[in-house]
A and B are shown apart, each in its own frame.
Chain A
């Protein structure tokens, strides 16, 4: 049968690009020496295939954002980590890099995420607990000590004060002598899901959106390889949403950020290519694969049809995935390794760009070094042994997968239309619509477990009495005192006149409409603390109370 012109064209363009971007291996073969096809396609390409499935690296991107996917480059293996002090976290990062992780992902403690210094009364008990405590540029310098910022990419899970942590990262890069236009990474910078799912908000929605569009604009001009936002469904799912709700609420948030940036006068095709996404990989393997494919297609259609984006990069939904924390059990924790492997497999079959695999002991505490290594090895086994990376989007064309992909897209579109009708995401948050939807789904799911309708192995079935307890990671309780002491010394050591001037300038900028990034960057360079900078912004913007 003759090849469809679309396929001939795709193959021709691919040949050209392979010269510049060769695949990882000259040949991908099975055990037996047969070559594995790069892309399997039906003999006859019908309308459904051409319009809804298409070719990888082409609109509507159902089959992936790159033409060769993992044959070209594997996903980034990026383990979310950070605890205690900058010094201890730095050691964990360097351990992970030695073990073959290919990107860093910084977990900050809650005071940092909510803009309090370690010596703030609100920080009591929380310093260094769920992530690393960063009070000032001095901590950030320690955090990335001996880690060359022109070589690694760094993802930072930071939202309300994202602009400040980005500024600190930029300042560290400059001190290392790295050209800041070369730095790679991501700030989460997604405040909308904080109001409905994660809770680390500081300011009300409108000034928060301004901070976000300010970073979009500044990064477009200064750090073009940095992802300015990671629009996150992960936490929405963790809070209890269904797969469809995860897609719908995430893309609805994405629409809101795009609109806010357009309203702030930014050019769509300048900032849209640096938008990135973050999804959850939960336990229903085929539903999750379909979800990733549906999300990619729906976003491409939204960007094209709703916003008239023209650059291909503006249409592509690139995403990070983390396996589902909420599915981990405190019982028979080794079972979690299997859960994580299946979830990670769904993310790879769904075409993720980077992946975090959870550790087996995370229903009990932060993971130990051994558990983290097993989690990373799980990704390496999928990458190098499972064979699923040899062919692009290998589940395409399965009746079940395509039907489920279509259904998730259609249902998510309907839900987005409902949010539009309710006046958009901010109104839907203020009215509690999104929170109620998530809460209801969470309640139903948990009731199914309680009633035994949903089996969770080791929890409500197949139980055993466990005699031995696994070793757990304990955060050094001295870290809070050490941070407080460090802050005291910093405030004596730095030039406080410079600090006060920088904070006063920031206050002025916050009251008018100029971009806040330059003033924030100037302030962090004087070693003004995160808490001091947030205090200035709190005074101008006010605080959100959930």
Chain B
């Protein structure tokens, strides 16, 4: 029996005050082209706004993009906001200008995967697919 391929829903968010959204918009569009349903929050959203949007849109994964250097504060803040909103199970992925040693800290803080400049988009799409599939299996 041919398996019905499910469309994954994801949210791409820009937490904090950083306005550099070339990367976020590119990932959003590349995910769409790869068959995902994508909600993009736009720039300058608070962690609470991003968590609320993730719950409301019932997404299977959240992607965050940040180039301002505030990732150690803001990525974990989104993870906490999701927990407070009762959606702590939604995996959070992140990308941006992030030094290697911070990646370890971010993973400890509950970030599922972190992508830095030059990562091939195919790799990012694959990570979102895996995260969504895991999350959807958990929920069903």
Chain A residues near B (Cβ < 8 Å): 110-111, 113-114, 116, 122-126, 129-130, 194, 197-200, 238-240, 326, 329-331, 363-366, 439, 442-443, 446, 450, 459-460, 469, 472, 475, 546
Contact = CB atoms under 8 A, between A and B. Distances in A.
Contact of B17 (A126, A364, A443, A475): A126
B118 A546 contact: no
A125 B97 contact: no
Contacts of A363: 97, 117-118
Given A129-B69, A130-B68, A442 B19 contact: no
A365 B19 contact: no
Contacts of A365: 69, 97, 99
Nearest to B14: A199
B116 interface: yes
B139 interface: no
B117 A329 contact: yes
Interface in B80-137: 97, 99-100, 116-118, 120-122
A331 B119 CA distance: 10
Given A130-B69, A363-B97, A363-B117, A199 B16 contact: no
A442 B97 CA distance: 18
A460 B74 CA distance: 31
A460 B118 CA distance: 8
A364 B100 CA distance: 9
Contacts, number: 88
Interface string B18-61: 11111001100110000000000011101000000000000000
Contact of A331 (B42, B99, B118): B118
Given A199-B43, A365-B69, 10 more contacts: A123-B17, A126-B70, A126-B73, A130-B69, A197-B19, A199-B19, A331-B118, A364-B99, A446-B121, A472-B99
A238 B118 CA distance: 16
Contact of B25 (A116, A329, A364, A439): A439
A116 B17 CA distance: 10
Most chain B C-beta atoms within 10 Å of own C-beta, residue among A116, A126, A239, A460: A126
A210 B106 CA distance: 43
Given A125-B70, A125-B73, A330-B116, A240 B17 contact: no
Interface of B: 16-22, 25-26, 29-30, 42-44, 46, 68-70, 72-74, 77, 97, 99-100, 116-118, 120-122
A324 B103 CA distance: 26
B118 A442 contact: no
Contacts of A366: 69
A450 B122 contact: yes
Contact of B42 (A113, A129, A442, A546): A546
B132 to A, nearest CB: 21
A330 B25 contact: no
A106 B74 CA distance: 25
Contact of A198 (B19, B30, B73, B100): B19
A330 B117 contact: yes
Given A365-B69, A546-B43, A469 B100 contact: yes
Closest 6 CB pairs of A and B: A199-B19, A125-B73, A110-B17, A125-B70, A129-B69, A330-B117
Given A125-B73, A130-B68, A365-B97, A199 B18 contact: yes
Contacts of B17: 110-111, 113-114, 116, 122-123, 126, 200
A330 B118 contact: yes
A199 B20 contact: yes
23 contacts: A110-B18, A113-B17, A122-B17, A124-B77, A125-B73, A126-B16, A126-B70, A129-B70, A130-B18, A198-B19, A198-B20, A200-B17, A239-B22, A240-B22, A330-B117, A364-B97, A364-B99, A365-B99, A442-B26, A446-B121, A450-B120, A472-B99, A546-B42
A245 B122 CA distance: 29
A329 B68 contact: no
Contact of A446 (B26, B44, B70): B26
B72 A125 contact: yes
Contact of A199 (B44, B73, B97, B116): B44
Contacts of B25: 439, 442-443
Contact of A122 (B46, B72, B122): B46
A366 B68 CA distance: 10
A329 B18 CA distance: 20
A111 B72 CA distance: 17
A504 B30 CA distance: 50
Contacts of A240: 22
A442 B29 CA distance: 11
A172 B55 CA distance: 49
A466 B54 CA distance: 37
B22 A326 contact: yes
B41 to A, nearest CB: 10
A439 B120 CA distance: 19
A475 B21 CA distance: 22
A450 to B, nearest CB: 5
A443 B25 CA distance: 8
